Amino acid sequence: MSVRGTIDRRTALAGVAAMFGAALYAPIARAAGNAAAAGVPVISDGPPSVAVFTPAQRALVAALSERVLPTTDTPGAIAAGVPAYIEKLLADWALPADRVPILAGLDAIEKRSMADHRVSAARATPAQQDALLTLAMNRQLGTADDFFEAFRQLVVTGYYTSEIGMTQEREYLPVPGEYDGAFPYAKVNKVYSA
């Protein structure tokens, strides 16, 4: 295990990595280990340049994202734009091979939903979707065993780097102005965004 967070300039992105105890899903791991000016390569920031998902898969990604991080007393994954983030990342910010476990998992979940619940997974009830995600989490989807951890990391990363995740679910201090290394935890309302 490498703990590169020890050295401050190396911690710029460690916040994302620190959210996970498990081995990181490849694109997030590479990123966590890691602008606009004339002549500088531009990062694609518009809609996905390719459609990663079929309409049915897209609907399922949205539904499952919301089950991973649901609306509670704060908005959930859909309101935070997580489904669009996932498709954009897989289209333009990750390597094509990184789509494979996600697509395989979505297809396995869809098949299992038809078999267990006789309904397309995107239109299953939240309880049925939770049961499907639980199967995935417990590695009971056969060939798509890599799906759950990869998908959860995508949802968690997308959510906690979104405006809603950073400023509503958590608290973002743009300019803390001071440092207190012995601040009473009792005064913390929400986890601070990195």
Partner 1 sequence: MAATNRFDAIVVGSGVSGGFAAKELTEKGLRVLMLDRGRMVEHGEGYPYDGKPAFEVPARNVMPEPLKESDYFISKHGYVAPSNQSFYNDDRLNPYAYDEGEKFYWIRPATVGGKSLIWGRWSFRWAPGDFEANKREGVDGAWPIGYDDVAPWYSYVEKYIGVSGSRENLPYLPDSEFQPPIPMNAAETWLKQRLETQFPGRKLINTRLSNLTEDKPDQNRTKCQFRNQCSNGCSFGAYFSTQAVTLPAARATGKLTLVSDAVVTNLEYDPRAKKVTGVRYVDAKTGQAQVVAADLVFLCASAMASVQIMMNSRAAGTGRSHFDNSGTLGRYVMDHIFRVGVRGDIPGMEDLIEYGRRPGGVYVPRFRNIGKDEEGVGFRRGYGYQGSARRDPVKPEGFGASMKHAMRRYGPWQFSMGAFGECLPYKDNRVSLHASKVDRFGVPLMRFDVTFRENELKMMADAREQGEAMLRQAGLTNVTGWEDEHVPGDAIHEMGGARMGADPRASVLNGWSQAHDAANLYVTDGAQMASVACVNPSLTFMALTARAADHAVKQLRRA
Residues 24-43 that bind partner 1 (CB under 8 A): 27-28, 30-32, 34-41, 43
According to CB under 8 A, which one of 4, 54, 125, 140 is a site residue for partner 1? 4
In whole angstroms, the minimum distance from the beta carbon of 115 to partner 1 comes to: 21
Contact criterion met (CB below 8 Å) for 158 and 82:
yes
Query: Which amino acid, one-letter code, is at 177?
Result: G
In the complex with partner 1, the residue whose CB is nearer, 4 or 143, is 4
Amino acid at 140: Q
The least CB distance from residue 98 to partner 1, in Å, is: 8
Considering the rule CB under 8 A, would residue 23 count as an interface residue with partner 1? Answer: no
Q: How far apart are CA 89 and CA 173, in angstroms?
A: 26
> Whole-number minimum distance, CB 3 to partner 1, in Å?
5
Size of the site for partner 1 (CB under 8 A): 79
DSSP string, 112-173: HHHHHHSS-GGGS-HHHHHHHHHHHHTT-SGGGTTHHHHHHHHHHHHHHTSHHIIIIISB--
| DSSP state for residue 142 in the 8-state scheme | G
Q: Which residues pair with 192 in a beta bridge?
A: 171
Show the site string, 73-102: x = touches partner 1 by CB under 8 A, - = not. ------------x---x--xxxx--x----
Options 24, 25, 45, 53; binder of partner 1; rule CB under 8 A = 45
